[in-house]
Chain A
Amino acid sequence: MNDQLIDLVSLEENTLAEVTKIIGGSKIRARLESLGIYEGVKIKKISKSLLKGPVIVEVKSCKVAIGYGMAKKILVKKSND
């Protein structure tokens, strides 16, 4: 059950997860990577999206706001720890 992939929008608040897949080309990957979001990185979701607004995550102890459409393209796996 825990191995299921969900997108970042569906992830519950205050949970840790690992980014497992980024759907999209090199441009979106480069953009995400510049702020430390890449396949394999651990993140924590800080706040959920309201009215299709951005999702906020903590990655490498920084908070980052990710637009709704972009967050939909980031697939994560919940971490147990």
Chain B
Amino acid sequence: MIKKILLFGNPNVGKSVIFTRLTGTTVIISNYPGTTVEYHKGEMELDNEKVEVIDVPGIYSLREPTNLAEKVAREMLDKAKEEGSFIVVNVVDATNLERNLNLTLQLIRERIPLIIVLNLWDEARHLGIEIDYKKLSQILNLPIFPTCAITGEGIKDLKENLNKAKMSDFQFKEEERWQEIGKIIREVQRISHRHHTFLERVEDFTIKPITGLISAIIILSLTFILIRLIGENLINHIFDPIFNNLYLPNIIKLIEKIKSPLIFEILIGKEIEPLKSFGILNTGLYIPFVIVLPYLFAFYLILSILEDIGYLARLATIFDGVIHRLGIHGYSLIPIILGFGCKVPAILATRILERKRERILTALLILLSSPCLPQTTIVIALLAPYGIKYLFLIFFLLIFLSLVSTFLLNKISRGEAPEIFIEIPPYRLPYFLMVFRKLLFRIKLFIKEAVPLIIGGVFFFGILDILKIIDLLNKFTGPIFQKLLSLPKEIVPIMITGFLRKDVSIALLAPFNLTPKQLVISSIFLILYLPCLSTTLILLKEFKFIDTLKIIIFQLILGFLVSLVLNAFLI
């Protein structure tokens, strides 16, 4: 009797769609213990019994694991072999049979009950690839089911025949695995001659060095415009009105009934307007749900679409040459791009990187290379009247500083930059159900992991505020700013707010009638001096305390140094 089904396959073969088709709604996303590798787990009914279905991370090879996903896949298989009563469903990309059979042959060698799904069957035929799957089934001595997971074709057949999985008696010499695959391919596959499709021309255009760079810049610019448009509209027309008109007045009425000023101050804050003080049911919810979530939604939506089209692998490849010198490989670009929007999901996204060294270098680049999107908006609004040169100064200085810092850190820390080695998948139309599922998973992850931290942080600062510790801090640090950076001492309370929400802190500079020079210095300072509260907490969660502390101290020193230098040399 089958108790467990493991889905094995290469990345980008539609394995997750098959998984979704098999399991339906009760899906749990989890991290493999002790790693950042995520996998999905669900259930399905088989002969009136509940069976566990595991979507094993996509891998190319089982032999000699060379990355984390392969290690996890290997362990999952070994565990299943130990427990028994399991089958492996090997999802194979029909448009790419030869490369995919490599994993299939390795699975056969494991002596486990197998069933093969030939997915993307219709697309293969469309591309002029004909596969005699019955013959393939004979050669491998395994049941094979052609499917088109996106339309659902062939899935019913697969579900009804899962118990036909069996151990193959196909024999081959391990060192001649690829030659053996070549032999099989010659027997079962015929490719009819065809012209280059339009999509293939686009594929070439977006990956060749020069045209690839041009198209990357265009695509990235469009992405940012779109994300800002979606994010801002969500905040202004949906999230903020709901919070301020529906939620806040009612919760205040409710809490006023308790008639305790202390409880009111902890829950709502000294002031009623969100972000002006530290109330856990006010600012504590406003930050994650009204400020971060809408941008997160917009970012993840666009990112998931780009990912499913197959563009992200190209983007990573195009920029690899530049960022490889910083000790990280092309894939780090994805978290860095996320960071232009909001640092919180960006830091979470560094989980796709395998080594701690890469993750910290990438985190540094995320934190230094750009302000977050709301901050960018305010900086532009404040400085645009004085001419574009100040804006250029700020943004180029940030990019320059981040590159130099990461470059130097890479030089002084041990270890070396990993080489990029990835498949460039063909472009495919995204399957919108999958895009939305992924979006939902990522938002759930944010709510589960980041929201409690933010609320906790707001609570902590609220207590500090009530105990007058923040006032004390203001008094002591005020003169330092006045003397060193020629900034008004009123900027100190702004720094504290800045820790909560950095764009607001910069916006609060507006009433001071600062000169452009003072504006540039205080903007740069407020962008660099500390990560915001939410980011700090996420850093603490993702990295060790000591590493987070190092990052924060580094930022503080850098912020001061740059402001000092600017104060001395900027005219």
Chain A interface (Cβ within 8 Å of chain B)? Answer: 26-27, 30-36, 38, 41, 46-54, 56, 60-70
| Chain B positions 91-117 with a Cβ under 8 Å from a chain A Cβ | 96, 98-99, 102
Query: Does B421 contact A31, Cβ atoms closer than 8 Å?
Result: yes
Query: Does B317 contact A56, Cβ atoms closer than 8 Å?
Result: yes
What is the bound-complex CA distance between A31 and B63, given in angstroms?
10
Query: Does A68 contact B423, Cβ atoms closer than 8 Å?
Result: no
Query: Does B318 contact A30, Cβ atoms closer than 8 Å?
Result: no
**Which of B151-159, B202-210, B228-236 is the interface stretch?**
B202-210
* Contact digits for B177-210, partner A, Cβ 8 Å, 1 yes 0 no: 0100000000000000000000000011001111
User: Do A34 and B419 form a contact, CB below 8 Å, given A50-B210, A51-B321, A60-B98?
Assistant: no
Beyond A53-B320, A60-B98, A61-B96, 11 additional pairs, beta carbon < 8 A:
A31-B66, A35-B421, A46-B204, A50-B210, A52-B321, A52-B325, A62-B96, A62-B424, A65-B316, A67-B420, A68-B324
What is the bound-complex CA distance between A68 and B320, given in angstroms?
9
What is the bound-complex CA distance between A62 and B63, given in angstroms?
21
**Across the interface, which residues of B come within 8 angstroms of A41, CB to CB?**
178
Determine which of B59, B319, B329, B423 lies in contact with A64 in the assembled complex, contact meaning CB atoms within 8 Å.
B423
Query: Which 3 residue pairs across A and B have the least CB separation, nearest first?
Result: A53-B321, A67-B419, A50-B209
Nearest CB of A to B423, in Å = 6
User: Do A67 and B320 form a contact, CB below 8 Å, given A35-B99, A48-B209, A60-B99?
Assistant: yes
What is the bound-complex CA distance between A32 and B66, given in angstroms?
10
Nearest CB of B to A44, in Å = 12
User: Do A26 and B64 form a contact, CB below 8 Å, given A56-B317, A65-B313?
Assistant: yes
**Across the interface, which residues of A come within 8 angstroms of B243, CB to CB?**
none
Chain B interface (Cβ within 8 Å of chain A)? Answer: 59-61, 63-64, 66, 70, 96, 98-99, 102, 178, 203-204, 207-210, 213, 313, 316-322, 324-325, 329-330, 419-424, 426
What is the bound-complex CA distance between A62 and B320, given in angstroms?
19
Ordered by A's residue number, 28 sampled pairs between the chains whose C-beta atoms are within 8 Å are A26-B64, A27-B66, A30-B64, A32-B421, A33-B178, A34-B70, A35-B423, A41-B178, A46-B204, A46-B207, A47-B207, A47-B208, A47-B209, A50-B210, A51-B322, A53-B318, A53-B321, A53-B322, A56-B424, A60-B98, A62-B96, A64-B421, A65-B421, A65-B422, A66-B421, A67-B324, A67-B329, A68-B419
Determine which of A30, A34, A65 lies in contact with B320 in the assembled complex, contact meaning CB atoms within 8 Å.
A65
Q: Provide the main secondary structure of the chain B interface.
A: helix
User: Do A53 and B207 form a contact, CB below 8 Å, given A36-B102, A61-B96, A67-B420?
Assistant: no
**Across the interface, which residues of B come within 8 angstroms of A49, CB to CB?**
209, 321
What is the bound-complex CA distance between A62 and B322, given in angstroms?
24
> Which of A27, A62, A68 lies at the interface centre, i.e. has the most chain B CB atoms within 10 A of its CB?
A62
